[in-house]
Amino acid sequence: MSELKFDKTKCADCQAVACLVKCQYIDLDRNTAKQEWQKVINGEDSFVLEACTTCYACEEYCPFENHPFYLIVERQEEKGILPAPRPIVTMWINQCQPVGKFMVGKIERKALSYCYLPQFNALVKGKLFNGIASSVIFGQEFFCNAVYLHYARTSVIKERLPKVLDNINKQGIKELVCLHDECYGTFTSLAPAYGIDVPFKPIHYFEYLYERLKEYKERIRPLNIKVAYQRNCSARLAPETDHFVDDIFSLIGAERLNREYDRENGLCCAEIFRMAKGPKLADEVQRRNIDDMVRVGAEYCVFNCPACWDSLADKVARKGIKPIHMIDLCKLAIGEEQSLKLPALTVEV
């Protein structure tokens, strides 16, 4: 079984203890953070293991790319600490077990991964996906398994991920365009952290969209809109892709508003908190996030993750902000209609 590549000597030399000091849900000074983090490293009991909301942010905060969040999850599982109720953990483990349920399109050298999110079937339409729309994989056999980080089950990831990678490789795929951060983060961060070889090139769909938009540059009509970008938890596993958000927005005339809860300080949809910590924290995080969008005058909220869309789209719409997925935003810029739409909502005042 693959072991986590974690270098505790890097933590010994780290005076910032950024992984804990920057945490938006655990309030610690540097001295206390250093003491508690050393306990986690040593495999001792620490309140950090119970308090963790599994927002993934410390993966991004670590200046050494030393995978502090993966270590926290390892320790949670070792100690039997469940970040979510046991029935929910069991449901996820059973629901996503690879049992031969999958869909494979007409696979080419380059393919799209829906992972286990059928919502992408509605989005992957139009000119931006010409030539690749039918080259698709979807289902449990191709499910990236990163979600088990939320449930303190790295053992499930280590067991299933190599099989998933082998299933993808058997399709003859050389380049896989990942339509969700969770997949891309699995292949570029999680798998390497456990020494698991990835036998194809992962491509984030932001990069794919940016390159396709440049091909259709003559069709782009600047949108001239002000947007709040909803950064999801899985984006923490691949922060190097965030510049593509700026690149795409610049190309299509969307202004990414400078707000408190974006970029490194971004707040996720918080629905995982609802299961783990109860509704009070989830509602408060969502309120702060959406109020921040309203405060800066956002006209649109741009979503990247289908789970964030399901959690927040109707709530931002009630505040008079139009929700839109990144793919649909790009479609609008070249004159195509968006795919994910909400029913008419009454705006809150």
Q: What is the DSSP string of 204-224?
A: EHHHHHHHHHHHTGGG-----
Of 314, 333, 335, the C-alpha closest to 323 is 314
d(C-alpha 288, C-alpha 338), whole Å: 27
- Find out whether 106 and 134 touch, Cβ atoms under 8 Å: yes
In the chain, the domains with their CATH numbers are: 8-78 (no CATH), 92-208 (3.40.50.1860), 218-333 (3.40.50.1860)
Angle at 325 (CA atoms; ends 334, 257), nearest 5 degrees: 90
pLDDT per position as a tens digit, 181-212: 999 999 999 999 999 999 999 999 999 999 99
Contacts of the segment 271-275: beta carbons below 8 A, 24+ positions apart: 271/307, 271/311, 272/53, 272/54, 272/55, 272/84, 272/150, 272/233, 273/53, 273/55, 275/84, 275/85, 275/88
Rounded-to-integer distance, Cα 220 and Cα 117, Å: 29
Coil vs helix vs strand at 111? strand
Q: Which DSSP helix (H) or strand (E) runs through 315?
A: helix 306-317
Q: What is the pLDDT of residues 20-67, one digit of tens each?
A: 999 999 999 999 999 999 999 999 999 999 999 999 999 999 999 999
Report the C-alpha gap between 330 and 121 in whole angstroms: 16
Taking only the tens of pLDDT, the chain with its 349 residues reads 479 999 989 887 787 788 999 999 999 999 999 999 999 999 999 999 999 999 999 999 999 999 999 999 999 999 999 998 899 899 999 988 888 767 788 998 999 999 998 889 899 999 999 999 999 999 999 999 999 999 999 999 999 999 999 999 999 999 999 999 999 999 999 999 999 999 999 999 999 999 999 999 999 999 999 999 999 999 999 999 999 999 999 999 999 999 999 999 999 999 989 988 889 999 999 999 999 999 999 999 999 999 999 999 999 999 999 999 999 999 999 999 888 887 655 444 4
The beta strands (E) that lie in 60-214 are given as: 102-104, 110-115, 136-139, 175-178, 201-204
Closest CA to 58 of 276, 193, 236: 236
Helices 242-252 and 205-215 pack at an angle, to 10 degrees, of: 20
Nearest Cα residue to 147 out of 65, 232, 24, 226: 232
Pairwise CA distance, residues 83 & 52, whole Å = 8
Q: How far apart are CA 77 and CA 98, in angstroms?
A: 22
Are residues 330 and 302 in contact, defined by beta-carbon separation less than 8 angstroms? Answer: no
Environment class of 161 (CB within 10 Å of its CB; exposed 0-12, middle 13-18, buried 19+): buried
